[in-house]
Structure 1
Amino acid sequence: MSVESRLLVIDAGNTSIKFTAFEDDEVLWVQRGESYSADTEFVPDVIYFASVRSKELSALLHADIQAAFPDSKWVTLTSQANACGVTNAYSEPERLGIDRWLGVIAAHHLIREDAVVVDVGTAIKVDVVNKKGVHLGGYIAPGLAMMEESLLSKTARIRYDASEVVAGEGLPNSTARAVSEGCHEMALGFLERIYQRYQDFQWVVTGGDAESLLSLLGVSLERQPNLVAMGAKLLGDEEGRENK
């Protein structure tokens, strides 16, 4: 067992925070929420912090977690031009979201072939990386909930209760179905166009809605619910080795 065998990865997204605990290479548990419910039996040797939130919100979260684990080493992860055998497509690499960067790193190490990385959460994020580790770029589109919320916030008469969102056959015959199924079709169309271009690539998916969307397109995929945390571990461990 290494000196820093216990690791806590914090993936701070726009709408939720994911906490992943590792012991060596094994995932012990995963927790989601706006705050960390301390596991008194788990004290990390090191904390890897990846955040797409504002500097102010990231600093507040940092302070809360560090107060719970004052003796843990803290490493803030950032997107770079090159890391873990992967080259960033962005001319300003720090502007690539750290969640996307970590997903690309993890997918490259898992697949070692041409890969499409799909993360469906608040937003639908798609990135492409070839077998040489060259990130070719990617897309960001609104997620299903964001599309629905945007439509409802910009219209006065499109209104329905959550209980009205029920499955049906044929063309939607209610406002609830028209909105929910319309947004679903938009997301499917976006992913289908990408699939037509990259159907020979291996698809790696993460995020709550990714598998259900892509299964409707008949895409052969590998599901990795902890993809971003895996990328964080790869990047943080590499930085630790370089700094020794």
Structure 2
Amino acid sequence: MLLAIDVGNTNVVFALFEGTEIKARWRIATDGRRTGDEYATWLLQLLAIEGIERSQVDRIIFGSVVPRADHNLDVLATKYFGIEPLIAGKGQAAWDFEIDVEQPHTLGADRALNCIAAHELVGGDIIVVDFGTATKFEAIDFNGAYKGGIICPGINLSLDALVGNTAKLPRIAIAAPDTDSVLGRNTEDQMLIGVFWGYVAMMEGLIERMKNEIGRPVKVVATGGLAILFDKKTDIFDVVDADMTIRGLQILADRAGAS
């Protein structure tokens, strides 16, 4: 089995693959100080709960946007599984597609993995929208080349900024509004309308601009934890797959094994 680890700014996602099928998935808050021993204590218990022996894990790959976590994940792989892990974007798992931007080395692992997965699983010209700590928009052409994109504050960051910089506005939960009305009748509803529908309007506007600039038919793919939430209130997405990044790790690991 392949253990794929996606290290984001907010969460680390562990997914266990048998072939292309995700057999189990776990999530832990990102903390660059968490040691390999701490990861192992947590992960080995979860494997046991699923009835999976650690010896069944024969490959490990991780992609990370938090450099401080990399060494600790390497310790987890080598000390507790006896496996030299693949690192997305490096060595055998180096990116195998064109990064057609001014500073290709600055492309985050999560964004690169989304490009790999979207090209492999969807094909054609694609815009990927990834809802994470930041919301990223990626333009991928029909050859699989990354052509550029957009980075925006994630919706939770936007809400944190609103609440943290005002004296009386309350903390609210991000959710799809009960109605499509944009005339809030109380403070909480008005905040939710501003944050949620404002975010939808931003997405729809940016995607429309990207499509016009690309100039060819484009499929829009949504991924990340909030993709399903937004899909309920807009018809702009052609494909919704919350696991696109982790699937990119599985595809990259399989390509590295075949090389």
TM-score band, normalised by shorter chain: 0.7 to 0.9
- For the pair 1:152 / 2:150, whether they are aligned, the reply is no
* Selected match of 1:232 from 235, 240, 249: 249
Q: TM (normalized to structure 1)?
A: 0.83
Answer whether contact 1:78 1:94 (CA < 8 A) is retained. Answer: no
Deviations 1:85-143 (A, max 9, x none): x3113333221110010001110111221111111122211101111222111111112
**After TM superposition, where is structure 1 displaced by more than 6 Å over at least 4 residues in a row?**
none
- 1:95-114 mapped onto 2 (5 Å cutoff): 95-114=106-125
Tell me the equivalent position of 1:48: 61
CA distance in 1, matches of 2:77, 2:194: 41
Shift of 1:211: 3.2
CA distance in 2, matches of 1:229, 1:29: 12
Number of matched residues? 231
- For the pair 1:116 / 2:127, whether they are aligned, the reply is yes
Tell me the equivalent position of 1:125: 136
Answer whether contact 1:167 1:177 (CA < 8 A) is retained. Answer: no
Answer whether contact 2:88 2:95 (CA < 8 A) is retained. Answer: no
- 1:143-222 mapped onto 2 (5 Å cutoff): 143-160=154-171, 167=178, 169-197=181-209, 198=211, 200-222=217-239
- 1:7-156 mapped onto 2 (5 Å cutoff): 7-34=2-29, 35=39, 36-38=42-44, 39-40=47-48, 41-43=52-54, 44-53=57-66, 55-69=67-81, 71-78=82-89, 83-84=95-96, 86-156=97-167
Deviations 1:12-36 (A, max 9, x none): 1111111111122222111112354
Unaligned ranges ≥5, structure 2: 30-38
> Comparing both structures, which one devotes a greater share of its residues to helix?
2
Q: TM (normalized to structure 2)?
A: 0.79
Deviations 1:201-234 (A, max 9, x none): 1112111222332442322421222211221122
Deviations 1:28-83 (A, max 9, x none): 11111235432142431111011111x323323443454332x1231111279x84
Q: What is the percent sequence identity of the aligned residues? A: 27
Shift of 1:10: 0.3
